[in-house]
Structure 1
Amino acid sequence: METLVTFRELSDAYRGKRVFITGHTGFKGAWLMAVLHLAGAGIKGYALAPEYENGLFDILGPLPGVDSCLADIRDKDRLKAEMLAFQPDYVFHLAAQPLVRRSYEMPADTFDINVTGTAHVLEAVMALEKPCSVVAVTTDKVYENKETGVLYKESDALGGHDPYSASKACAELVISSFRNCFFSPSTSRGLASARAGNVIGGGDWSRDRIIPDTARSLLSGRTIEVRNPVSVRPWQHVLEPLGGYLRLAILLHRDARRYAKAYNFGPLPQDHLSVKDLVETAIATWGQGAWKDISSAEAPHEAGLLKLDITMAREELYWTPRLDARQAIQWALEWYRQPVGRQAEYTFQQIKSYFPA
């Protein structure tokens, strides 16, 4: 199998299939929706209304073959009814409260959405009387991060200092429990989790995220305000993990016994950049701009060092990153440079450029 996920592979697997996406109005979910739309899948999205204007979901507009349900994954009965009515072949669970700093403001809601919401999604899948493969997306922050520079692998201890990270570690325990109890291969239901984070790309306007903050500043001619410039992260363009999720679901559908487990998706070991490196690459790509450090000792804790070991995804899924971190930053910033009226077209152009024919 090729290490690069191809468009032919996606089209062969997903054309005419029914795919249920939670969180399709969010940044990563909207990109996934766009990829699957191009591949010819029938899609039902289930999510809250978009949180901010001019995000990718609104920019793309209504897409043929996509049914959008605006509802909360904490609404257990509604979620189950929508799932049963659609009868999906695949489920991608991305709906979440995804921000570390916001989790300090709403810790209980963060756990409710990310943990109980995940259980609701998986319980709804259990009600299906047909084969269905599920990829539940968590984060790279699920590990007990001691910030030593070690590359975390899937068998390492789960943890989480902040409510967001801890809630996603709890979600991994929920996923493991459902997998062991209700998603055995004999049930024709496969369940895997995907751990990726620090995902960047066009169409994200969330607050307290470095690329949206950088793009807003560059577009308005303001100095970019940067927290923790020496922090190191596994930056990756959004299409990198999405290709991994899509291949994982394909293989899970073929052999749930082998692929029903957790997988890390991230950059190559030598390709981890600091926040300072990211911002300076963004400024160079833009052609102008400046930044300043606004770090504060009183700010909520955020990990200063995080690296993932992607060996298992490379060896078992034959998946490997295509773009290095600097290319990922350039791809993201080039999206934000586009006129608003061209951003939808440019999104599909980037998808076609990323996935070889």
Structure 2
Amino acid sequence: MGQRQSALEGLGVRQFGDIYRGRKILLTGHTGFKGSWLSCWLSQLGAQVTGLALPPGTSPSHWDLLGKPAVDLHGDIRDLSVVQDAFGQAQPEIVFHLAAQALVRRSYRDPLESWSTNVMGTANVLDVCRRTPSVRAVVVITTDKVYANREWPWGYRENDRLGGHDPYSASKAACELVIDSYRKAFWSADDTPLMATARAGNVIGGGDWSEDRLIPDLVRAVQDGRSLEIRSPQATRPWQHVLECLSGYLMLGQRLLEGQKAFAEAWNFGPPADDNRTVAEVLTHMQGFWPELAWKVSAVPQPHEAQLLYLDCAKSRAQLHWAPVWSLEEGLAMTADWYRSHHATGNAATLDQLGCYLQSARASGCSWID
């Protein structure tokens, strides 16, 4: 990683007010898709990152390909003693909590796993935060699926009603209630930690090999030379590249570390309305990178999933001054390039793509980079 790291430093950019340099950070879920990308970015920012997560659940694993850019602690957040030990070792100033059971269809197969991990696991993390004097800020990642989905043609705002049909969505909505309770019950005084939640979903990017997700399923189908079986070709989702929502998480963390209490709330991070596309539209676009891609609609009855989901991100844009950098087409192109590069070389293009993203962000005048 050394030469690529030097290349990033050579860009001469200052990110997030340089607030993460030298900071002690605990990142739960660091072996997952979003967590591994965030651990990479934080390490590039000069942070001292300790990760707590289960071992990677896929092979290959993005985390392993990155060369483990953080202290790598393995354990289950449902075990309070494991969480306590991780905090004791890390002594973090800020916690990014990403560890979760994050798959809708898996939650139907094992609902108790989702409830215990997403609710009690989060409660464990927050309670240890409460008892760890070094913690000053907490950013908890939930999902765009926390809203009671009414198939509205307009976006859900942060003050809309929470809910969920499937165990994953419902457990994440319950997670938001746990967070709100801890904030009100224990962290309302001026000298207590600040906590925010971030709601984003349908994130794409290289290094995701999860089950039952469109892009990983697509990549596996192409490499196996078979037709991709899809469930809901007309389902609409707020697709975005993983680096887009991560920039929002890091902006939130910066505001909380600066002691700005107004940001200790819930925040949506999603694409502009014209990047809200159907599954079929995304697949058609990806055929430009993989002409051999073919798909068919599954004839097997499927568990309920929302057909229309759109986030209203006006609050993040107006108050946090966050905005996406890449269009959906650019994000899909980067995603396809990452997987094709890995297939050809066995390596991860993550740092190179992070460098491209930083250049694009600076060129577009993003507030978090100068």
- Which TM class, normalised by the smaller chain length? over 0.9
Cα distance in 1 for residues equivalent to 2:245 and 2:13? 15
Give the one of 65, 74, 77 matched to 2:78.
74
For 1:166 and 1:7, locate their aligned partners in 2 and report how far apart those are by CA, in whole Å: 40
The answer to whether the 8 A contact 2:342-2:348 is kept is no
- How far apart are 1:93 and its partner, in Å? 0.3
1:124 maps to 2:132: no
Runs of at least 5 residues in structure 1 that lack an aligned partner in the other structure: 1-5
Q: How many residues align?
A: 349
Q: In the aligned structure 1, how far is the partner of 2:201 from the partner of 2:189? A: 29
Is 1:17 aligned to 2:20, yes or no?
A: no
Check if 1:104 corresponds to 2:108: yes
Aligned equivalents of 2:120 and 2:13: distance in 1?
35
Question: Are 1:140 and 2:144 counterparts?
Answer: yes
What percent of counterpart residues are identical?
44
Tell me the residue number matched to 1:234: 238
State whether residues 233 and 306 of structure 1, in contact with CA within 8 Å, keep that contact through their aligned partners in structure 2. yes
The CA deviation string for residues 293-326 of structure 1, in whole angstroms up to 9 with x for no partner, is 1154x21001000000000110111101111222
2:181 aligns with 177
CA contact 2:62–2:207 (8 Å) conserved in 1: yes
Corresponding residue to 2:61 among 55, 63, 67: 55
Counterpart amino acid of 1:17? R
Cα displacement (A) at 1:111:
0.4
Mapped pair 1:85 → 2:67: no
Contact 1:143 1:152 (8 Å CA) reproduced: yes
Task: Assess if the C-alpha contact under 8 Å between 2:126 and 2:182 holds in 1.
Answer: yes
1:177-216 matches, cutoff 5 A: 177-184=181-188, 186-216=190-220
Q: TM-score, normalised by structure 2?
A: 0.91
CA distance in 2, matches of 1:16, 1:225: 46
Partner of 1:309: 312
Tell whether the 8 Å contact from 1:225 to 1:294 is kept in structure 2 after alignment: yes
Residue 336 of structure 1: aligned partner: 339
Aligned mates of 1:255, 1:295 — CA distance in 2 = 53
The one-letter code sitting in structure 2 at the alignment partner of 1:253 is: L
Does structure 2 retain, via aligned residues, the 8 Å contact 1:226–1:295? no
2:32 counterpart of 1:29 = no
Alpha-carbon separation, structure 1, partners of 2:81 and 2:280: 46
Using a 3 Å threshold, how does the CA distance of structure 1 residues 315 and 344 change in structure 2: closer, same or farther? farther
Aligned residue number for residue 368 of structure 2: none
1:3 aligned residue: none
Provide, for residues 152-208 of structure 1, a one-character-per-residue CA deviation record: whole Å limited to 9, x for no partner.
Answer: 000000010100000000000001111111223523311000000001111111110
Q: Match of 1:301, SS?
A: coil
From 300, 322, 325, give the equivalent of 1:322: 325
Q: Residue 80 of structure 1: CA displacement?
A: 1.4
For 2:343 and 2:41, the matched residues in 1 are separated by: 20
Structure 2 unaligned regions, length at least 5: 1-11, 363-370
In structure 2, what is the Cα distance between the partners aligned to 1:116 and 1:7? 40
| Deviates further, 327-336 or 154-163 | 327-336
Note the C-alpha offset of 1:280: 1.0
What TM-score, normalized to structure 1? Answer: 0.94
- Pick aligned residue for 2:293 from 289, 294, 312: 289
The C-alpha deviation readout for 1:51-107, integer Å capped at 9, x for no partner, is 1111210111233xx211100001102211221331111110000000000000011
Distance 1:303 1:159, change over 3 A: same
8 A contact 1:229–1:274 mirrored in 2: yes
Does residue 168 in structure 1 map to residue 172 in structure 2?
yes
| Residue 228 of structure 1: how far off its partner (Å) | 0.3
Q: What letter matches 2:334 in structure 1?
A: W
What is the rounded CA distance, in whole Å, between the counterparts of 1:58 and 1:115 in structure 2?
28
CA RMSD across the alignment: 1.6
Correspondence list, 1:37-52, <5 A: 37-52=43-58
